Amino acid sequence: MPLTKDVIKFGTFVVTNQVFHVTRLSFAIVNLKPLLPGHVLVSPRRIVPRFNDLSAAEVQDLFLTVQRVSRMVERVFSASSLNIAIQDGVDAGQSVPHVHAHIIPRKRDDLEEKGGTDAIYGMMESEDADLSKQLADKEKAAKAHLAGEEKKGRFPAVDNDSRKPRTDQEMQEEAEWLAEEMLFRVSKFVSNEALSVLYGLNTYNFTVHGQTMWPKSLRSPFVFGPLGHPDRLPLLRNLRRIHIEVVPDINSHWAVKRQRSRLEYLVEILKEYADDSDQKSLLEDLKVDFQLTSQKPAQSACGKTVRGIINSCVPKDTEKFMFGLESLAYLRGIKDVEVTGLPEWYTKCLQLSIQGRGGGVEKIDWPLAESRRRAKWNSTQWKKYLVSARKWHQPTLNWKEFAERNEITTPADMEDLYAADG
């Protein structure tokens, strides 16, 4: 979600989703193709080409903003120094006619392979430093829906062949992260109480869908949204309230496989910090909402956009997709748990297990069955394999025994859920 509802423009380009800090007269944005990690820009909100065009109030606000942002960037990216530069006018290398200051975090020998510390100046003045061309290419690609096509960048480039433009999602996630750093962590005097307000009074929403994700699909850090960056995962221990929306939005066994793995990964990460004796998890409220279609627009496997409409690509049978949530049973000891969208008996079982009540849920030792498969996809030879008799939509945990032990009424056809092949 953008930091501001106002439309923020950098020259003629709309960069609202890249904004991570806003004042009355200035704004700061993340870069489409950062020269080095943490390379950001600070500009006045009024679009003027030259530094001398700024009012005294704008100059003061611009440099105060540069100072505040630079402190945060240096700390967050573990820099030992900074390059802070303004290219004032076309002949000075300015490519977008809108005053802006570059803030580039530096470390010792970070450009040794490119000629040393001073290589940064040549890069900023080269043709590859054409911000206007880079942003124009991005807009043109977006309008033409050329997803995945590599554009020749004109942003400041250390190695233009190895650096590709970042996606809107990547830039927005970094902007949200840096916005948090600006608001709550830029000063060493910010107290733990301030963080508790941030995490304690807000519910953090995660969506786990059945679509493929790149570059990691099964154990994707993107299930955590902006908190999925490795540097931000420790922040998960601070979350008090989490809402997980589980949306099996493709009618395939892949939806269950992906959601099972993604929820398992989510639980592993949460438990990693929950089990830290020095930094115990603060999670106390968990809501899980299972729905066959999302209320948000989603791209279906058929390439159609769906919004609360069940079409031929979206599953219709809850029981065939509900056991993708089994991994949540290992997230135990949560005080308040609410599960919606599932059969009543399974809802009660999940809630009890996640709360740490009713004992553990035993794993099922499914029998093995013989299966014939091709030795290779294009081979005429067949091989015999022993594989689990469990079907993709069946449980891996013994919910029947757990329900009986806790006096939870189960459906009459419960045995059908555990009927093995063969």
Section 186-201 average pLDDT:
58
The mean of the pLDDT values for the chain is 80
Residues flagged as binding site for substrate = 31, 87, 93-96, 102
Is residue 303 pLDDT above 50, yes or no? no
Q: What is the rounded distance in angstroms from the CA atom of residue 63 to the CA atom of residue 337?
A: 48
Section 354-358 average pLDDT:
93
Residue-wise pLDDT for 89-113, tens only, equals: 988 888 899 999 999 998 888 777 7
Sheet (strand 19-22) strand order? 19-22, 26-30, 40-44, 101-106, 81-86
Section 208-216 average pLDDT:
85
Residue-wise pLDDT for 6-65, tens only, equals: 899 999 989 999 999 999 999 999 988 888 889 999 999 999 999 999 999 999 999 999
Lowest mean pLDDT across 75-79, 240-244, 335-339, 392-396: 75-79
Q: What is the rounded distance in angstroms from the CA atom of residue 50 to the CA atom of residue 87?
A: 9
Question: Would you put residue 308 in left (φ > 0), alpha (ψ -120 to 50) or beta?
Answer: left
Q: What is the rounded distance in angstroms from the CA atom of residue 68 to the CA atom of residue 186?
A: 8
pLDDT band at 122 (very low <50, low <70, confident <90, very high): low
124 or 334: which leads in pLDDT: 334
Section 213-235 average pLDDT:
80
pLDDT band at 195 (very low <50, low <70, confident <90, very high): low
Q: What is the rounded distance in angstroms from the CA atom of residue 197 to the CA atom of residue 258?
A: 34
Amino acid in the structure at residue 168? D
Catalytic status, residue 100: yes
Residue-wise pLDDT for 130-177, tens only, equals: 566 666 666 666 555 434 433 433 333 333 334 567 788 888 888 888
Catalytic residue among 21, 98, 100, 209: 100
- Chain-centre distance for alpha carbon 38: 18
For 143, residues 6+ apart whose C-beta sits below 8 A from its C-beta are none
Domain 9-143 has CATH 3.90.1150.10: no
Environment class of 270 (CB within 10 Å of its CB; exposed 0-12, middle 13-18, buried 19+) = buried
Taking the CA atoms of 307, 313, 319 and 320 in sequence, report the sign of the dihedral they define: negative
Q: What is the rounded distance in angstroms from the CA atom of residue 348 to the CA atom of residue 268?
A: 23
Main-chain dihedrals φ then ψ at residue 377, nearest 5 degrees: -60, -30
Q: What is the dihedral of CA 59, 63, 65, 68, to 10 degrees?
A: -160
Exposure b/e, 329-347, CB count within 10 A at least 16 = b: bbbeebeebebebbeebbb
Residues flagged as binding site = 31, 87, 93-96, 102
pLDDT for res 185: 52
pLDDT for res 123: 63
Q: In Å, how far are 23, 320, 337, 409 from 401, measured between CA atoms? A: 59, 20, 21, 11
Is residue 365 pLDDT above 60, yes or no? yes
Is residue 244 pLDDT above 60, yes or no? yes
Listed in order, the ranges of the chain carrying CATH 3.30.428.10 are 9-143
